[in-house]
C-alpha cells in the first residue's frame, strides 16, 4: 500500500539554505525548470509535444533557485541532483545460492513450449554497456549516452553492463553466464546517464529524466532503474508518469541503506505511480539482505541480491555482485517474460501478476515488504496464462489515477544466484528545495493492486 500525497498550496517560501546540503549533491551551475504553458500553445500539446522540464545554466544554483521560485511563469524549479549507483563491495560475506525459489527452469520450459512471442524492449537506464561483450551480442538495440551527449553509451563504470547481463546474457552459447530472460526475444536499450567519477558511479537527475523520455519515445516496454537518491523531484515524477501513461513499466531498486522506506524518503522507489515496482534484495537464506531497504507501503517485492554472477566490462565477468541494483533486473526479467507472452497487458495487469505470484513462507521471511514474498518466474507465467482475456486486451496505458509527485534517490548493487551457462540456457536526504507552496502530507492509503 502506497500513500497519496495531498498538497495544500499556501504560497510559502522555505529557506533552502537552512538545510544541510553538500555542494556535490547537485550541480552548481544548473537548475531544472518546468515553465507554465504559454497562452495559445494548446496546438503544441495536441501534437503530442508535452510541456517538459528544461535545464537552464545559472551562475549560482542556490541563489538562482531563490530568485526563480516566485516567478509567475514557473510551474516548478529544483536543483539538478547528483544520482549515485551504490554498489556493495565484491567481498560481501555470503555464499552464492541457486535461488530455487524463483523456479526459473520451469518458467523457461513454459517459454520453450510457447514458441515465438512478442519482442520485449527493456531500457536499462544506467552507466551504459560493454557493447563488444561476447555474452551480449545480438540483444543490444540502439542506445544513447546522455552523460556525454553522443550515440555510443560505452560503459566506463561496469554497473550497467552487470545489469544488462542479469537480464539477457546469452544462454546456450557455451561461455560465461546466462541471463534470467535468456530464452525470449529481448532487446536491451542501453541509455547511459551515469559514469565513473573518481571511483563512484554517478550521474545527474536531468540526464536520468531525459533518458526516461527517450526510452518511452523510442519503444521501450520496460525501464530498469537500478539507482536512486533521497530528495524529492517533480521532474522525475513527471517522467515516470509519462512512462505510465504510455504503458511502460518502471522497475527500480529499493536502496541499500537498510532503512524503512515508509518512514524515510527514497526515490524513485517511493513514488505511488502504478507502473512502479520497488525491489528489495534477498540473500541465499531466504531473508532480506542486511543492507536492503524495506517497507510495507513502499517496497513491493524481493529478488536475489547477494552474490550475483554476471557480465562485466572488457568482456569479463563479475562473480560476486551484491545490492538492490542487481535484484532489480531479476524482476525486470520476469516482467519481460510476462509481456513476451501477453503484450497487451497494461501496467497494472503486469504489476498484479508479479506481486500476486510471489513465493512466501517455506523458510522465506519477507513480512516487511508489500507482497510478502520473492519474485517467482514460473508462478508469474502460470498467472499470466490464467489471466482474464479482457485484461489482456485492455489498453496498455491504463494504470488508474496517479496521485501527486514524490522525490528521488540513489543506489546500485547486485544480487542473486550465479546463472552459470551450462548449455541450457546518502543516509541523509538532500535538503528540500525552495518550493512554491507549503506541502502538507496526509498519510492516506493509496492501494496498489497486488493480485
Q: Pull the grid cell for residue 189.
A: 536499450
What is the longest distance spanned by two Cα atoms in the chain? 63
Residue 217 annotated in active site = no
Task: Count the Cβ atoms, other than its own, within 10 Å of residue 423.
Answer: 9
Which residues, other chains included, contact 392 with Cβ-Cβ below 8 Å and sequence gap of 6+? 342, 344, 345, 349
SS3 state of residue 373: coil
How far is CA 30 from each of CA 37, 42, 75, 167, rounded to the nearest angstrom?
21, 28, 17, 34
- How many residues belong to the chain? 451
CB atoms within 10 A of CB 417: 20
Query: What are the backbone dihedrals phi and psi of residue 344, each rounded to the nearest 5 degrees, phi first?
Result: -80, -5
Q: 325 an active-site residue?
A: yes
In a 13 Å sphere around the CA of 269, the CA atoms on its Cβ side amount to: 40
Q: What distances in angstroms separate CA 16 from CA 361, 428, 432, 433, 444, one per listed residue? A: 46, 15, 7, 5, 27
For residue 434, the SS3 value is coil
Q: Write the secondary structure of 226-278 as one string of H (helix), E (strand) and C (coil).
A: CCEECEECHHHHHHHHHHHHCCCEEEEECCCCCCECCCCCCECCCCCCCCEEE
- Report the distance separating Cα 121 and Cα 227, nearest Å: 20
Q: Cβ-count burial of 81 within 10 angstroms (0-12 exposed, 13-18 middle, 19+ buried)? A: buried
Q: Which of 318, 325, 352, 409 is catalytic?
A: 325
Instruction: Look up 266 and say whether it is catalytic.
Output: no
Q: Which of 87, 155, 159, 221 is catalytic?
A: 159
Q: Based on the number of CB atoms within 10 Å of its own CB, is 196 exposed (0-12), middle (13-18) or buried (19 or more)?
A: middle
Please report where in the chains the cell 530568485 appears, as a residue.
67
Considering 87, 126, 349, 421, which one is annotated as catalytic?
126
Which run of H or E residues covers position 43? helix 42-46
Q: Which residues are catalytic?
A: 126, 159, 325
Amino acid at each position: 500500500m502506497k500513500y497519496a500525497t495531498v498538497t495544500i498550496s499556501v504560497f510559502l517560501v522555505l529557506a533552502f539554505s537552512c538545510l544541510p546540503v553538500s555542494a556535490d549533491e547537485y550541480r552548481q551551475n544548473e537548475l531544472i525548470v518546468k515553465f507554465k504553458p504559454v497562452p495559445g500553445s494548446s496546438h503544441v500539446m495536441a501534437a503530442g509535444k508535452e510541456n517538459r522540464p528544461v535545464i537552464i545554466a545559472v551562475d549560482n544554483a542556490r541563489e538562482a533557485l531563490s530568485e526563480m521560485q516566485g516567478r509567475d511563469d514557473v510551474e516548478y524549479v529544483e536543483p539538478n541532483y547528483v544520482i549515485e549507483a551504490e554498489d556493495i563491495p565484491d567481498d560481501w560475506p555470503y555464499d552464492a545460492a541457486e535461488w530455487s525459489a524463483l523456479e526459473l527452469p520451469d518458467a523457461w520450459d513454459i517459454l520453450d513450449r510457447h514458441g515465438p512471442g512478442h519482442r520485449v524492449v527493456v531500457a536499462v537506464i544506467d552507466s551504459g554497456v560493454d557493447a563488444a561483450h561476447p555474452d551480449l551480442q545480438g540483444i543490444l538495440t540502439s542506445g544513447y549516452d546522455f552523460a556525454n551527449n553522443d550515440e555510443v553509451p560505452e560503459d566506463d563504470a561496469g554497473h550497467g553492463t552487470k545489469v544488462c547481463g542479469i537480464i539477457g546474457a546469452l544462454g546456450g552459447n557455451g561461455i560465461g553466464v546466462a541471463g534470467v530472460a535468456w530464452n525470449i526475444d529481448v532487446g536491451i536499450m542501453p541509455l547511459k546517464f551515469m559514469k565513473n567519477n573518481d571511483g563512484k558511479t554517478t550521474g545527474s537527475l536531468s540526464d536520468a529524466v531525459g533518458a526516461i523520455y527517450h526510452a518511452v519515445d523510442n519503444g521501450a516496454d520496460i525501464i530498469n532503474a537500478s539507482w536512486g537518491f533521497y530528495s524529492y523531484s517533480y521532474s522525475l515524477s513527471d517522467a515516470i508518469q509519462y512512462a505510465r501513461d504510455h504503458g511502460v513499466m518502471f522497475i527500480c531498486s529499493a536502496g541499500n541503506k537498510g532503512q524503512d522506506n515508509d518512514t524515510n524518503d527514497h526515490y524513485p522507489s517511493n513514488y505511488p505511480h502504478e507502473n512502479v515496482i520497488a525491489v528489495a534484495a534477498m540473500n541465499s537464506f531466504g531473508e532480506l539482505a542486511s543492507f536492503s531497504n524495506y517497507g510495507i507501503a513502499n517496497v513491493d517485492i524481493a529478488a536475489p541480491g547477494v552474490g550475483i554472477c554476471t557480465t562485466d566490462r572488457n568482456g569479463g565477468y563479475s562473480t560476486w555482485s551484491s545490492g538492490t541494483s542487481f535484484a532489480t533486473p531479476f524482476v525486470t526479467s520476469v516482467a519481460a517474460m510476462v509481456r513476451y507472452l501477453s503484450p497487451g497487458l497494461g501496467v497494472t495487469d503486469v504489476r498484479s501478476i508479479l506481486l500476486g505470484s510471489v513465493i512466501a513462507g517455506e523458510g522465506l521471511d519477507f513480512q516487511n515488504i508489500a507482497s510478502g514474498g520473492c519474485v517467482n518466474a514460473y508462478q508469474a507465467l502460470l498467472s499470466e496464462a490464467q489471466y482474464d482475456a479482457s485484461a489482456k486486451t485492455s489498453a496498455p496505458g491504463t494504470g488508474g489515477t496517479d496521485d501527486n509527485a514524490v522525490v528521488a534517490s540513489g543506489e546500485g548493487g547486485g544480487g542473486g544466484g550465479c546463472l552459470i551457462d551450462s548449455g541450457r540456457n546518502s543516509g541523509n536526504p538532500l535538503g528540500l528545495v525552495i518550493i512554491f507552496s507549503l506541502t502538507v502530507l496526509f498519510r492516506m492509503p493509496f492501494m496498489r493492486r497486488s493480485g
